[in-house]
Amino acid sequence: MDIYDLTVTAIDGSARAMAEYRGHTLLVVNVASACGYTPQYTGLEALYRRYKDAGLVVLGFPCDQFGHQEPGTDAEIQQFCTSTYDVTFPMFSKINVNGADAHPLFQLLKAQKKGALGTELIKWNFTKFLVGPDGQVLRRYGPGDTPHAIEEDIRPLLETRA
């Protein structure tokens, strides 16, 4: 199984096939509205706007597994993201990223790129996975890795896009 075999649920409740992102560079992020890292929405949106025409897609997956920092409904999360951070990149329904009921997307991402000390466990909100246009998970970033710092890893992937 690869990333393009999966289906995810958009924040509006519609099913989205990951296959529609084939050929794009993806930055997959578990997000939260009440986290110390929440201001990273600004940088994520800036990356998306700067590079979306070159093939970058930022995908936001709300998660409430860390300190109950994403308590809202999908509608509340969407309202917060658009009104507070003017988010236009695709957002998805709230999921779990760890544990027995972790979403299959995050199971795959974690299996392909382990974290510190070889662990698959996601430790906090705003963990990011960089996925190349071929669907391979290239890098995993911790919450403290800012969108600005990740930009230098993204740019070469876009320059080689046909």
User: For 117, left (φ over 0), alpha (ψ -120 to 50), or beta?
Assistant: left
Tokens matching residue 99: 């544990």
Active site residues: 35
Taking alpha carbons only, the member of 1, 90, 105, 88 closest to residue 42 is: 88
- Residues 6+ away with beta carbon under 8 Å from 7: 15, 16, 17, 18
